[in-house]
């Protein structure tokens, strides 16, 4: 289960790094002209969504680490749920 949660954390890290690289050169143009992309970024990187609504500036390194931790917690919840479903289907 540790490896699975590590994979979730790595996915969160990669997603945040992707958005940081994508928005760095094109932030103003992308936000104004493509609200769908901005909405997708807010859904996949919840720290960005929270920081905008709370009015707090978050440095990129903090956003990357926070997104990784968020995905790790989400992965923990999913893996625990999957374990319970598996045990319910196969009682021994």
Confidence category of residue 30, pLDDT binned at 50, 70, 90: low
Give residue-wise pLDDT tens across range 59-80. Answer: 888 889 999 999 999 999 999 9
Residues of the chain with pLDDT > 90, as a percent, come to: 34
pLDDT band at residue 92 using 50, 70 and 90 as cut-offs: low
| φ, ψ for residue 57, nearest 5 deg | -80, 130
| % of the chain with per-residue pLDDT over 70 | 92
- Could you give the C-alpha distances from 85 to 74, 78, 89, 90, in angstroms and in order? 17, 11, 6, 9
Average pLDDT over residues 73-89: 90
Tokens of 16: 């945040």
In terms of phi and psi (left: phi > 0; alpha: psi -120 to 50; beta: otherwise), the region of 84 is alpha
6-24 pLDDT tens trace: 999 999 999 999 988 888 7
**pTM score:** 0.80
pLDDT at residue 28 in the model: 63
């Amino acid at each position: 289960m540790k490896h699975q949660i590590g994979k979730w954390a790595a996915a969160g890290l990669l997603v945040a790094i992707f958005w940081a690289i994508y928005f760095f050169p094109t932030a103003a143009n992308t936000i104004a002209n493509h609200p769908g992309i901005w909405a997708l970024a807010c859904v996949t990187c919840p720290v960005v969504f929270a920081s905008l609504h709370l009015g707090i500036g978050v440095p990129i390194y903090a956003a990357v680490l926070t997104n990784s931790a968020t995905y790790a917690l989400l992965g923990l919840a999913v893996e625990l749920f999957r374990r319970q479903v598996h045990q319910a289907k196969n009682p021994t």
